[in-house]
Amino acid sequence: MNSLQNKVALITGSSRGLGKAIAERYAGLGANIVLNYTNNKNAADQVLSNIKAMGVEAIAVQADISKPAEITRLFEEAKTAFQKIDIVVANAGVELVDVPVENFTEEQFDKLFTLNTKGAFFTLQEAAKHVSDGGRIINISSSTTVYPFEGVALYGGSKTAPKYLVEVLAKEIGGRGVTVNSIIPYAVSDAGIFTDPTEPSIKWLIEANPMKRMAHVDDVANVAEFFASDLSSFVSGQHLLVNGGASH
């Protein structure tokens, strides 16, 4: 079994969904946790309670990841609380689908690129500055960056640039023994926007997948566990698809 005993993990956007699942997985492996949320303090407090019940230490920090100054403050508060950061997961993001290129607006562009691109870039930058030697940096991407389809130009586009940064950063800080990787999930049934099984788009996603299902948060947490552990110590600059063998 992997152990993250005495490690400190910071996960952005961790009051719900994938971020919550990853934070709770790391806590179960012994890591102390820095949770992050934007607005929903009640949800963050519930996750904080769940994690502390596992016998580890944890804090929840409100910070808007679309604002670099708040990202900086998040890392400063984490270092103040725990003196170090060993694992960073850049997870915070927003989804948008079913919007053709001819229809998307400047407001939608700004919303997605400010959080999914700018937020991820500055989170990864702060991670590079603060993560311990031998640490782990993980970017949560999207399978739309690998298999484009109609209606996801803004979302897939906003998630593509951070993948490039992952490859550059892996080269720049690899000498410190730090690994930098992306997880690329398929549509997730118990997180994000794909939660209504009666929706035609969800039925299509299930039928089009060789395993005849969508991803679950635990599927993504499994890979996040691998990338955070010693098992991945020589895996860096990579983008791992978690998509059940789908080719779309």
Active-site residue, from 7, 20, 118, 159: 159
Say which of 26, 37, 155, 186 is annotated catalytic: 155
What is the Cα–Cα distance from 20 to 16, expressed in whole angstroms? 5
Q: In the beta sheet, which residues pair with residue 85?
A: 131
- Whether 7 is catalytic is no
Tell me, yes or no, if 171 is annotated catalytic. no
CATH class given for the domain over 8-240:
alpha beta
What pLDDT does 39 receive? Answer: 92
Residue 19 to residues 54, 117, 175, Cα–Cα distance (Å): 17, 17, 28
Q: Is 142 labeled as catalytic in the residue annotation?
A: yes
Active-site residue, from 15, 66, 142, 232? 142
Q: What percent of the chain has pLDDT over 70?
A: 96
- Split at pLDDT 50, 70, 90, the class of 153 is very high
The C-alpha angle 50, 130, 114, rounded to 5 degrees, equals: 75
pLDDT at 1 (0 to 100): 66
Give the separation between CA 157 and CA 116, rounded to whole angstroms. 9
**107 band by pLDDT with thresholds 50, 70 and 90:** very high
Each residue's pLDDT tens digit, 157-209: 999 999 999 999 999 999 999 999 999 999 898 776 665 555 666 787 888 89
Residue 18 predicted with pLDDT over 80: yes
Active site residue 3: no
Instruction: Encode pLDDT of 25-77 as tens digits.
Output: 999 999 999 999 999 999 999 999 999 999 999 999 999 999 999 999 999 99
> 141, 143, 189, 232: which is the annotated catalytic residue?
141
Q: Domain extents for the chain?
A: 8-240
| Res 198: pLDDT | 57
Burial class (CB in 10 A: 0-12, 13-18, 19+), 198: exposed
